[in-house]
Amino acid sequence: MPQSSSIHVAIIMDGNGRWAARRGLPRVAGHRAGAEAVRRVVEAAPDQGITALTLYAFSADNWKRPPGEVAALMRLFARHLRTETPRLVENGVRLEVVGRRDRLPAPLVAGITAVERATAPGGRLALRLAVDYSARWAIGAGVILPDVDLLIRTGGEQRLSDFLLWEAAYAELYFTDTMWPDFGAADLARALADFRTRQRRFGGLPEAAAG
Ligand code: FPP
C-alpha cells in the first residue's frame, strides 16, 4: 500500500497540568504553554506533509474539571482563536471547530464563527479543533471526519479517551512521554518518521505477498 502523500494527523494533547506541576506553577500556566505548542505545531505541520490536523482541545468529559480551570480554558481558547486568526489566514490554514457548541460560552461561540469565516479560503492545512468533543456523541450525530492516518498522544498515557473512534479505525498510533507544552516541530517530525516506517495493510497482505 503506497504511503499517502496527504496525511491526516490527530493529536491528543496531554500533559499540560503535569508540566505545570513540575514547575510549581498553576495548571492554567500549563494550558498557556500548551497554546504555544499548538501554534508551533500548526506552523510546522504543512512543511512536514500534513494536510489535515485535528487537535483534541477539550473533551465532553473535561466539564468535570474544577469550574475555575474550565473557565480559564474557555477564555484561553477564545483569546487564542482571536490572536491567531491573522497568522492562520496568512499561512493558508482553514480552521474548523468540531464538537458541541450549545454548552460553550457565547463569546467563544462568536469567536469560533468569526475565525471559521475568516479562514474559510485557506487551502494549505485543514485544522480542526475538537472542543466539547466526544467521539461517541459525534458518531451518534453522524458527524464524521476524514480517516486519520496517524494518531499521536503526548503525556505518556496510552488510550483514546473518546477521540475520533470511528475515524481512527486504521490509524497508526504513536504515544510519547513528552508533555504537550514541550512538544514541537522536531517531535512532530519524529512521529512522522516513525509513521513512515509502518506498513499499512488495511487488513490486506503486505505488497510482497500479495502477487
Ligand atoms: C490536557 O492536559 C490538556 C487539556 C485538557 C486542554 C488542552 C488545551 C491546550 C493544549 C491549550 C490550549 C489550546 C488551544 C487550542 C488554544 P491535562 O490538563 O489533562 O494534563 P495532565 O494530564 O498533566 O493533568
Domain extent listing, the chain: 7-200
C-alpha span between 107 and 116 (Å, rounded): 14
Total-model pTM:
0.95
Indicate the CATH number for domain 7-200: 3.40.1180.10
Catalytic annotation present for 162:
no
Q: How confident is the model at residue 207 (pLDDT cuts 50, 70, 90)?
A: confident
- pLDDT tens readout for residues 83-129: 999 999 999 999 999 999 999 999 999 999 999 999 999 999 999 99
Pull the grid cell for residue 148.
486519520
> Is the per-residue pLDDT at 1 higher than 50?
no
Q: How far is the CA of 1 from the centre of ligand 1 (A)?
A: 35
- Predicted confidence (pLDDT) per residue in 44-96, tens digit: 999 999 999 999 999 999 999 999 999 999 999 999 999 999 999 999 999 99
Phi, psi at residue 193, to the nearest 5°?
-65, -40
Residue type, 2: P
Per-residue b or e along 4-21, where b marks 16 or more CB atoms closer than 10 Å to that residue's CB: eeebbbbbbbbbbbbbbe
pLDDT at 2 over 60: no
Among protein residues, the one with the nearest Cα to ligand 1's atom 22 is 15
Radius of gyration of the chain (CA): 17
